A and B are shown apart, each in its own frame.
Chain A
Amino acid sequence: MNDRELEQLYRQAMDGESAPDGLVSDTMALMHQELEKQQAKKATSVGGRVRAWLGGLHGQRRGYAWGFGGLAVAAVLLCVLTLGGSPDTLTLTPFTYQTDSVMALVSRGENSLTDVESELDAKLQLAGCTRTDFFFAQALLSSNEPAMWLAVASYDSPEPFEVTIANFQTQTYRTLAGGQAARLNGLSVYAGQDEAGGDVFAVWQQEERYVQVRLFGECDAAAAAARMKALLPLIHP
């Protein structure tokens, strides 16, 4: 029997399989419910209200609204850039990604941001995902350590998410599947230090479809390490 015949046999056997009608109609009902839930959430969210409000404005007034909005965002960015990044402390502002999937990568400061970004892109491409957003920060954990880049990308994928944990001292990376870690400690996933004991930089928390990235804002390396050590038993019980 050649490959073609084998393929043909398999196709014929599989052609007989189709989704049961009852299951399809039940699933459609579930989809409608979920759609309503999503729409209700969107209507009550701040973003949804702003969009609805903007939709109600016309011509010049809408232009003014966008202009003021843009100025406000620029002012916030300026404040963050001016105040952030002093040595010996992690002065990164906590931020939230409202997305299903986030990937983080840490690299020594000797590498340029472009290197980090392309490495992250290569990992995403390997996983067959498309990058939808990108954030980076530079941090110094102590004056003896070279600066490090923390790059975070959100990506479009049905995977829950994936976290890469880096050990700066040994320069090793280990990838934690979101589901695997979530199983260990309920809904939350934390990343930052591996078994060999590298430095600490971040905590990740997942709440349903929210992935919150908390970056130990305004606490020094020792405090961050202590906090992370307290969380580690949850990751590696």
Chain B
Amino acid sequence: MDVSRQAMDDICKRYKDMVWRVAISRCQNRADAEDVFQNVFVRLVKSIRKIEDEEHLKYWLLRATVNCCNDVFKARTRAPDSLESKREQYGDSLKLAEQSREESNSFDPEQAQTRTGEQVMQALARMPEDTRTLFHLVYYEQLPVKRAATLLHMSEGTAKTRLSRARDKLRKEVSV
């Protein structure tokens, strides 16, 4: 693939939201997602010559994002568990929960829809990261289950089971 500055900028602009959404849904923390975002695109510069076409590029970026998130998790388990890191880690989820509590005092159909969306996000946040990522890849990125499963190093059967359980759990939590 073309390795000029312009070409790299175009790729970054084209896939920035895709990479960001996978990173934020897997990491659940903006600071980590930002690190992952930068690492993915810097890695891409190193590997761009091996990328064959647009489909390969998309798959590569998704896979690199998942790998970079895993690196962050590994680093997190090595680092001492400081209060600050806990706050950073859960800060975004807490903010969302507070917002949702504040909004729950009044009723508005549009707000109700948003609230339900937030309930989905919060319920997903409590699930294991692989399930979250799988859910995102299949339902947002529209990846076939088989491909998403390969990307996450799991079998297609496991992926289908996890998706089905996640849907059941979400339905229960959101309808409460």
User: A interface vs B, CB < 8 Å?
Assistant: 1, 3, 6-7, 9-14, 17-20, 23-24, 26-28, 30-32, 34-35, 38, 100, 126-128, 132, 156-159, 179, 183, 209
Contacts and interface: CB of A to CB of B under 8 A. Distances in A.
A19 B37 contact: yes
16 contacts: A6-B167, A6-B174, A10-B121, A13-B114, A14-B140, A20-B34, A24-B16, A26-B38, A28-B9, A28-B41, A34-B45, A156-B50, A179-B70, A179-B74, A183-B78, A209-B46
Nearest to A17: B21
A6 B42 contact: no
B47 A10 contact: no
Nearest to A13: B117
Interface of A is mostly: helix
A145 to B, nearest CB: 34
A122 to B, nearest CB: 13
B139 A7 contact: yes
B63 A157 contact: yes
A182 to B, nearest CB: 10
Given A24-B13, A31-B12, A159-B67, A9 B116 contact: yes
B119 to A, nearest CB: 9
Given A11-B139, A128-B150, A128-B151, A23 B47 contact: no
A156 B57 CA distance: 12
B143 to A, nearest CB: 12
B113 interface: yes
A158 B113 CA distance: 38
Given A18-B17, A35-B3, A23 B38 contact: yes
Nearest to B153: A127
Contacts, number: 116
Contacts of B120: 6, 9-10, 13
Which 3 pairs across A and B sit closest by C-beta, in order of nearness?
A13-B117, A19-B20, A158-B64
Contacts of B175: 1
Interface in B75-124: 78, 113-114, 116-118, 120-121, 124
B43 interface: yes
B28 to A, nearest CB: 12
A28 B17 contact: no
Most interface-central of B60, B116, B118, B135 (chain A CB within 10 A): B116
Most interface-central of B3, B34, B70 (chain A CB within 10 A): B34
B79 to A, nearest CB: 13
A35 B6 CA distance: 11
B5 interface: yes
Contacts of A30: 38, 41-42
Interface string B44-72: 11110010000000011001100100110
B162 interface: no
A159 to B, nearest CB: 6
Contacts of B59: 128
Contacts of A128: 59, 63, 147, 150-151
A183 B78 CA distance: 10
A170 B22 CA distance: 41
Interface in B14-47: 16-17, 19-21, 24-25, 34, 37-38, 41-47
Contacts of B3: 35, 38
A100 B47 contact: yes
Contacts of B147: 128
A85 to B, nearest CB: 32
